[in-house]
Amino acid sequence: MFLIIGLGNPGLKYKKTRHNAGFLAVDFVVEKLLGKKAKWNKSKKAKTEYIWSKINNTEVEFLKPQTFMNNSGEAVKTIINYYKIETKNIIVIYDEFDLPFGKIRVRQNGSSAGHNGIKSIIQHLGTDNFWRMRIGVSNPEYSGQKKIPTDLIKLHNGASKFILKKFSRQEQKELNEKIFPEVIEKIQEIIK
């Protein structure tokens, strides 16, 4: 069984923000696999929304922690303990400020690189041995560059304000037509 986790913050205020790229990606994947009528279940005990499916004949539980980003590890640990899922079968999808908009990077382990959601998961699981799929959310005017200019990320407050901004209509279109379909392909590759 695989656990596919989208990171984000609950509530309408954050719904289409850059920081919720993980929630948006998982919603897209579920809709494409199960259809628009797929209903998310809620677990107050686990502090999460979840939905079960199959990809390539493999059981998959999709998860959207409702603990806010900084405490994502709480919900993840509860679900892992319940299903006895190996950490190598966990895929976490989340926003990455240091990547150009739309760029996707996948790796199996490593540090949190300052991302509080990943930091919380590592802390609660006691390991960094799980898959990460980072979706670049940086300003589109820098998307052609390999590295975001340092003047854009000088102040942590500036980054915080930027990732809590909503995606533009054009960016949402790109997410749905190009970026999130690529997320589905990468999930399928990992499961295979």
Alpha-carbon distance of 108 to 24, in angstroms, equals 21
162, 167, 4, 93 alpha-carbon torsion, rounded to 10°:
-40
Buried-state track 128-165, b at ≥16 Cβ within 10 A, e below 16: bebbbbbbbbbebeebeeeebeeeeeeeeeebeebbee
Token representation of residue 20: 């919720």
Token representation of residue 61: 């539980």
Q: Which amino acid is at 35?
A: G
| Catalytic residue chosen out of the listed positions 19, 115, 124, 156 | 19
Active site residue 156: no
Alpha-carbon distance of 1 to 60, in angstroms, equals 6
Alpha-carbon distance of 142 to 129, in angstroms, equals 31
Question: Which residues are identified as catalytic?
Answer: 19
